[in-house]
Amino acid sequence: MDKLKDFEYTMDSCNHCGQCKWILAPKMKGWDFAEICPIHQRYGFDAYSGQGLLSIAKEILTGKLQYGDGLEELLYTCTCCGACDVNCKNVRDMEVLDTILALRDDCAKNGELPKAHRETARRIAGTHNIYGLPHGERFAWMPKDYEDDGNADTALFIGCAAAYKNSDTALAAVKILRAGGVKFRLLREDERCCGASLWRTGQTEAAAELIERNIETFRRLGIKTVITACAECFGAFRSGYPRFARTEFETKHITEVAAELISSGRIAPKAFREPLMVTYHDPCMLGRLSEPYVPWNGIIRPFGLHEPPKTWRRGENGVYDAPRRVLGAIPGVELTEMTRNYEDSFCCGAGGGATEANPDFAARTAGERRREAMSTGAEAIVSCCPFCRQSLEGAGDNPMPYLDLTVLLADSL
């Protein structure tokens, strides 16, 4: 992982334009749903924004500010959703999110990591999952008579959330792949947490160890392709792992595979039980944060000229089309879009460890997203991330149901 000093150019280049707080003006449909930064939308102070965190990073770097007195609480309120980063890059190329992640790494190394995140790391080390539940129960959802393709070079990576909290998503993913004739295997006792909860909270040493272990497992088992039904795992494999080690496997989300199976005619969704109007929520780690991370090492010249040229992640190349194609292929389902969608999707509130460190804020952010979903006139909100599901299902008192896209598709087969 890059260190805080590596992002001094970004800190010095911020001109406090505020674009990190809002979606671009041409995309606005009014004052409501125009803000893009969850923490600024909630607290209003500049410190709670991309530009504010850059200023804090600079003050920490120069020794003018010290950790303590609640500063770490502020840092870990951020969901690390990357919306500030994407919108900033519409103005100039800077690494706002990576600076925030480096600031968290620095905070953790200074012994100021919130207790909730230390507990998550302890659970992962002890039981290989974020919940501290027995490792032997990770595949308890699997039918006893289930047999997969033990020699397949494609693995279905279940992930902690789907394995322990949303087993219907895991079963649905299995059903879709088997219906489409995809040869795959489950890692069973070899599967561990993907490590997203570690590297996104600044616990880089623990993350590096876990990531190296998972990469070695894939290599040892001859895994060439990893399919996941969890957006968090997907984003970790695509944009997190390359920060620590070289990856030799391809990562696909279940919606990408499903879209391919539908277009090739290998699966054919049947008519839905009744017409349904839905709106789709783009998970951060499946959307803007899933762009492959390309390490860069070079010199920054005047006016921000990077030598050698740098590959910038602008959020445009996330997985947006596949989930919508799947929804469009289910007869009777109609999609209506929210204002903040695609790379400008508003975070559900569960990302970056916010749920653990600041659950009230996370719940409020989820409530704001559901309010936007209801404004579309949709009957249900659909997404394909177990963490978004856990966040959005319990947000507020409104009756709008949440539907998991993987389960929705499996039920139509």
> Residue 147: its pLDDT value, please?
87
Cα separation, 279 vs 382, in Å, equals 6
The DSSP symbol for 164 reads H
Spatial contact of 191 and 157, defined as CB atoms under 8 Å apart:
yes
Average pLDDT per consecutive 10 residues, the chain (413 residues; last block may be shorter): 87 94 91 95 95 97 92 94 96 94 96 94 97 97 89 97 96 97 96 97 96 97 97 97 94 98 97 89 97 92 93 95 97 96 96 91 94 96 95 76 96 95
Tell me which residue of 187, 259, 258 sits closest to 223, measured CA to CA.
187
The DSSP symbol for 239 reads I
**Would you call 376 helix, strand, or coil by DSSP?**
coil
Beta strands in 281-320 (DSSP E): 299-300, 306-307
> Residue 395: its pLDDT value, please?
63
Tell me which residue of 398, 400, 388, 299 sits closest to 351, measured CA to CA.
388
**Would you call 145 helix, strand, or coil by DSSP?**
coil
What's the full length of the chain, in residues? 413
Spatial contact of 149 and 216, defined as CB atoms under 8 Å apart:
no
> Residue 1: its pLDDT value, please?
52
> Residue 373: its pLDDT value, please?
96
* pTM attached to this predicted model: 0.96
Residue ranges and CATH numbers for the domains of the chain are: 1-112 (no CATH), 127-263 (3.40.50.1860)
Amino acid letter for position 403: L
DSSP 98-156: HHHHHHHHHHHHTT---HHHHHHHHHHHHHSSTT---GGGTTTTS-TT----TT-SEEE
> Residue 145: its pLDDT value, please?
86
> Residue 397: its pLDDT value, please?
66
